Structure 1
Amino acid sequence: MDSQRNILLIALLFVSFLLFQQWNMDSNPQPQSQGVAQQTNISGDVPSHSDEGQTIPDQGSSKHLITITTDVLALTVDTQGGDIVEAKLLAYNNELDSTDPFVLLKNIQNHVYTAQSGLIGANGIDSATTGRAQLHATADSFTLPAGQDELRVPLTYQKDGISYTKTFVLKRGSYAVDVDYTIDNKTDKPATVQMYAELKQNLMDDGGSLTMPTYRGGAYSTDEVNYKKYSFDEMQDKNLSLEIKQHGWAAMMQHYFVSAWIPREQGVSNLYTRTVGDYGYMGVRLPMTTIAAGQTDTIQSTLWVGPKLQKQMEAVAPNLNLTVDYGWLWFIASPLHSLLSFIHGLVGNWGVAIILLTFIVRGAMYPLTKAQYTSMAKMRMLQPKLQAMRERLGDDRQRMSQEMMELYKKEKVNPLGGCLPILLQMPIFIALYWALMESVELRHAPFFGWIHDLSAQDPYYVLPILMGITMFMIQKMSPTTVTDPMQQKIMTFMPVMFTFFFLWFPAGLVLYWLVSNIVTLIQQTLIYRSLEKKGLHTK
């Protein structure tokens, strides 16, 4: 039956379509115009306590910057407002073989990406009229001492008989930064304040490429929605305003890295977005807090600023680990990533872990593979009978269809038996693709020899070429019923097309596909030998 090979081709093209569709989803929105700050250092904006979230103009150059350093983070804080204007991730290089750490938050002329927070309300210290409060620090730099697990950095401010202390709390090995406001109301009247915490970034999207799709934009979680992206395009179209009653966060993310504000106060917080000029804002307003006369109260929030480490993020806030976006096949991709991490813990090399994971996955799918090639071999044996049937019945398609079904039933052959296993394998292949694509652990991870970064393309294209050769070998070994010359040319061209396509794939993904092809060749050889012993011809 000629349709046997056609269906297999359609299945392969369908995989490509699904990948391309997912790339388009994750590569949007399209790049927006990039705002250029007028000065190198720009202090944060302040939303009013109205629902509209209006802002004040930027305040210009900062008066004072301080640094806070732990074993994994180096933060720069602007004491005018106490915003984090730079965050260096000390365990991650900016580029392969570079000694410079990766900078997630930054405040430079062509790219502003900062984490802002402040107090608004009747007794707030940040407002649209007076601007940001100039906080006081006891030193210019703070470093987590050896042997100490926690570092607390207080910034203080006095206003109208009320003492305000903004404290940054950092812990060893953690990318979660607690930001607490302690209000000591020494007056004889109640004081009302509201904390806001937001992320500010240029309206931009770095886009990535077809083989390395990336997303730069917003994302959020509420009690009703576990995880949802909210792009800069969407921010420009509509200001978001949602309630957080128990669990939620507002984030901005990019490939491998994410920053997110998590409110810690009881009550209803407001999750919002807004755009001002060429900047997008995404943040939370915590519940209004009233401090009685002569009393002290603390308002708490947490900022995650770091790589997409699933276990750590899950411990910081519910659903924050979902920023490692596996798409609609997350329920398959997540266990695969866990298995990959477990294997890496045993072997210590991510490339070897990918190879072993591929053997495990393909081994688990061996029954499907065997059923696929057995069905294809049986279909090939029926070709002479089918050809004689075509010659006898001519253009009588209805009669042809009836007799074909009778023949399949008599010979106990399922005409779809060769392609159904492929359809069942598709979700696993695609899920594993995204598990590897989203793994920050593979960023700058070496394999062997010339492969120094599994997240980048093979510099000498050795793996893609080997992948193409193995794909061609699989095609030649596979039983086929195709007799049409045009279809034969298309099938012959497929390995060339995929080799070209894979030239720009990250090396880790090509390694998986190459090993998967090698496993397929081994399985084909074993299956065909078994079939030939049973009298089923595979060629």
Structure 2
Amino acid sequence: MKNDNRNFITFAIIAALILFGWPVIANKLFPPANPPVTKIEGGKTKVVPNTTAPSPTTPARVRDLKAVLGESAGQRVAIDTPTLKGSINLKGARIDDLVLTQYKETIAKDSPPIRLLSPAGTTDAYYAQFGWQDNGLKPPSADTVWTANGTLLAPGKPVTLTAANAQGQRFAIELSVDDQYMFTIRQTVLNAAGTAVDVAPAGIVSRATPSKDVDSWTIQIGPMSVHDSKADYDLNYNKVAESKPFTTTGGWLGFTDKYWLTALVPDQASTFAGEFTAPTGNGYAADYARAKTSLAPGKALTQTSRFFAGSKEVRILDGYQDNAGIALFGKALDWGWFEVIEKPIFYYLHWLFRMIGNFGVAIMLLTVTIRGLIFPIAQRQFASMASMRAIQPKMKALQERYKDDKQRQQQEIMKLYKEEKVNPLAGCLPTLIQIPIMYSLYKVLMLTIEMRHQPFVAWIKDLSAPDPLTPINLFGILDFVPPHFIAIGVVPILLGISMWLQFRMNPAPMDEAQKQVFALMPWVLMFVMAPFAVGLQVYWITSNLLTVLQQKVLYARHPALKQPVVK
């Protein structure tokens, strides 16, 4: 009895540590789910403003942006593609005005599109610029106003910018864009002077402020590069000033937000030097330069690079990697250790979504598929549990007989396992298999933009965010926002109930303390899982209900599990 009480007290302490300590651990190791896109007030669903990305609807932001764009309206080339709209500033040849037409700030119908790039002088200045290093070449400066041969850059409609210096060199930047998010930049120098010059094309991405997305141990936010055949996730905004330049052949560098990316992509067959810097008062910069080439008088040299500015859609990133030969471009998404599981889960889930049209239903069907695949393992688990239950009296006898000789006790128990052909670890296998699957689905929901703002049913408007509906404020009827810790949503409550049902179906343990532990566990896990994405909770609820059905079938095959243990 004393041991039972001690076991229960120990579990209670552990449960309290999990309950109160988990949020601290989760914030360090696992980024929180996306903020809810809706809130329930007065029993009605209202759209929540997006606080994780710059919003062009902020009054000061709109005024600054309109003023700056207005000042340069006469020296801009429009950008118009199926996915992008904006303009190029002829002063400095900058791509500094870009919105992503396929994505909105919020789920509201009148929500503005995501603004990715903004000109210098605005609150969140963010732009790309291409030119040449000054190794005696005297290339056009940031204040040079280039001449364009057209007024619109669109797929199949390139635009060429031209300028010249006083030394006799003429410069051209031909810009083209595809129907996704990739710009191609062809930089040409014609040396009309009487002496040779050194030519080294360069590019830079500059941003005034860090991302509002949260950088974490599992998801890279901030400076990122691929060099020496590997993705470098080690740098963050706080360490930019300490970063070291690198030289590589094949690779790229830029800035990654949770869902958006800007990347400078030099010619993949050429060597380039790249670095990240934090100029005083000028935010952050990623830049590269090719090795200099001597250009003889009367000759011209054209060198090509690319620039990506858009959303991190898995299919698009993988397409540029596989078809355009951009090294490890798919690594712009920080898949982590379980990429070999995560990407198949994503592609299968996305295929289900295209077939059905609802990501929540697709997650449920994914769960059915996974449970079907591991059903043979579950059968072996139940057979093992039945065998373990049958030998419990013999194990208790051995434990009592050799209670003063733990080593001998373990030897005899292992001998018993061998004689009875029982594997005590077999029952853990389905759970162990589920861990990487659960984590992989968590990463898919957190990483991929395809899950962003995906509704399920009723009040659930975003499967990648926590459940906004809670009974604590009577489902939004009471006019107050409950503290985050106790604001348990309806879906997490359903998760707790499904776990309780599953635990009830399990064979009752002989130890009374264990019974108490299993009785409390579903409700502890309910609190632990509440801050996670609804999509992950939908997966777990479906898995629990399928497990209950499986248990009913397997209990029919192994009725001994329902019988009380013979003492």
Q: Is the 8 A contact 1:113 1:200 kept in 2?
A: yes
Q: Deviations over 1:461-490 (max 9, x none)?
A: 3322211111111111112436243x5444
Q: Which residue pairs with 1:33 in the alignment? A: none
Distance verdict in 2 for CA 1:163–1:321, change over 3 Å: same
- The aligned runs of 1:353-432 (5 Å cut-off) are 353-432=362-441
The SS at the match of 2:278 is: strand
Pair 1:111 & 2:118 matched: no
Code of the residue aligned with 1:326 in structure 2: it is W
- Aligned to 2:531, which of 478, 484, 504? 504
Unaligned stretches of 5+ residues in structure 1:
29-35, 42-60
Structure 1 pair 270–135 and aligned structure 2 pair: CA distance change class (3 A): same
TM-score, scaled to structure 2: 0.77
Structure 1 partner of 2:224: 219
* Residue type of the alignment partner of 1:123: L
Q: Are 2:181 and 1:175 equivalent residues in the alignment? A: yes
| Structure-2 change in CA distance of 1:480 and 1:126 (3 Å) | farther
Deviation at 1:275, TM superposition (A): 1.4
Residues 96/197 of structure 1: CA separation in 2 closer, same or farther (3 Å cut): same
After TM superposition, list the pairs within 5 Å mapping 1:184-333 onto structure 2. Answer: 184-202=190-208, 204=210, 206=212, 208=214, 215-236=220-241, 238-245=242-249, 247-264=250-267, 266-277=269-280, 279-316=283-320, 317-333=326-342
Tell me how far apart the structure 2 counterparts of residues 265 and 143 of structure 1 sit (CA, whole Å).
Answer: 24
Q: 1:85 aligns with which of 77, 84, 96?
A: 96
Query: Compared with structure 1, are the counterparts of its residues 367 and 233 closer, same or farther at alpha carbon in structure 2 (3 Å cutoff)?
Result: farther
How far residue 368 of structure 1 moved from its aligned partner, in angstroms, is: 2.3
Task: Report SS of the residue matched to 2:174.
Answer: strand
Residue of structure 2 in register with 1:455 after alignment: 464
- For residues 437 and 510 of structure 2, the distance between their equivalents in structure 1, rounded to whole angstroms, comes to 28
Counterpart of 2:544 in structure 1 is 517
Tell me the residue number matched to 2:139: 125
CA contact (8 A) 2:229 2:251 kept: no
CA distance in 1, matches of 2:278, 2:238: 10
Deviation at 1:528, TM superposition (A): 1.6
Measure the CA separation in 1 of the matches of 2:128 and 2:300: 26
Instruction: Report the Cα offset of residue 101 of structure 1.
Output: 0.7
Residues 344-365 of structure 1 show CA distances to partners (whole Å, capped at 9, x for unaligned) of 2322322222221111122112
Unaligned segments of structure 2, at least 5 residues = 5-9, 33-59, 66-70, 321-325, 470-488
**Is the contact made by 1:73 and 1:89 (CA closer than 8 Å) also made in structure 2?**
yes
Could you say if the C-alpha distance between residues 257 and 229 of structure 1 is closer, same or farther in structure 2, counting changes exceeding 3 Å? farther
Q: 3-state DSSP class of the match of 2:327?
A: coil
Q: Give the conservation status (yes or no) of the 8 Å contact 1:381–1:537.
A: no
280 and 524 in structure 1: CA distance in 2 versus 1, 3 angstrom threshold: same
Q: Is the 8 A contact 2:385 2:561 kept in 1?
A: no
Give the partner amino acid of 2:310. Answer: G
CA distance in 1, matches of 2:495, 2:563: 23
1:439 is matched with which residue? 448
Matched position secondary structure for 1:445:
coil
Q: Residues 124 and 193 of structure 1 are in contact (CA less than 8 Å); yes or no, is this contact kept in structure 2?
A: no
Q: How many residues align?
A: 491
Moved more, 516-525 or 108-117: 108-117
* Deviations 1:158-198, CA, capped at 9 Å, x for gaps: 212322222221122x1101122222333333333322222
Contact kept, 8 Å, 1:73 with 1:87, in 2: the verdict is yes
**Counterpart residue identity of residue 234, structure 1:** K
CA shift for structure 1 position 303:
0.9
Q: Point out the more displaced range, 312-321 or 322-331.
A: 312-321
CA distance in 2, matches of 1:390, 1:315: 61
Letter in 2 for 1:465: I
Partners of 1:353 and 1:215 lie apart in 2 by 27
Change (3 A) 1:297 1:206: same
Q: Which TM-score applies when normalising by structure 1?
A: 0.81
Cα deviation for residue 203 of structure 1 reads 5.7
Give the Cα–Cα distance (whole angstroms) in 2 for the partners of residues 217 and 448 of structure 1.
34
SS at match of 2:360: helix
Cα deviation, residue 100, structure 1: 0.9
* In 1, Cα distance between equivalents of 2:213 and 2:102: 25
Letter aligned with residue 474 of structure 1: Q
Question: Could you tell me which residue of structure 1 aligns to residue 55 of structure 2?
Answer: none
Identity %: 28
Task: Name the CA shift for 1:538/1:199 in 2 (closer, same or farther; >3 Å).
Answer: farther
Change in Cα spacing, 1:99 to 1:290, as seen in structure 2 (3 Å) is farther
Amino acid at match of 1:508: G
Superposition CA RMSD, Å: 3.6
DSSP-derived class of the 2:426 partner: coil
Q: Is the 8 A contact 1:220 1:227 kept in 2?
A: yes
Once residues 497 and 232 of structure 2 are traced to their aligned partners in structure 1, the CA distance between those partners, rounded to angstroms, is 41
- The CA distance in 2 between the partners of 1:287 and 1:19, in whole Å, is 49
Give the direction of change, closer, same or farther, for the CA distance of 1:484–1:433 in structure 2 (3 Å limit): same
Counterpart AA for 2:492 = P
| Structure 1 residues 419-453: Cα deviation after superposition (integer angstroms, max 9, x where no partner) | 24422432232223212322211111222332222
Native 8 Å contact 1:309 1:321 kept in 2:
no
Alpha-carbon distance, 1:80 to partner: 2.2
Deviation at 1:209, TM superposition (A): 9.5
Secondary structure of the 2:183 match is strand
Task: Give the 3 Å change call, closer, same or farther, for CA 80–364 of structure 1 in structure 2.
Answer: same
Letter aligned with residue 453 of structure 1: D
The offset of 1:377, in angstroms, is: 3.1
Cα pair 1:125 1:132 within 8 Å, conserved: no
1:473/1:360 CA distance change after superposition, 3 Å:
same
Structure 2: how far apart are the matches of 1:282 and 1:143? 24
Instruction: Give, as a single letter, the amino acid of the residue that structure 2 aligns with 1:180.
Output: R
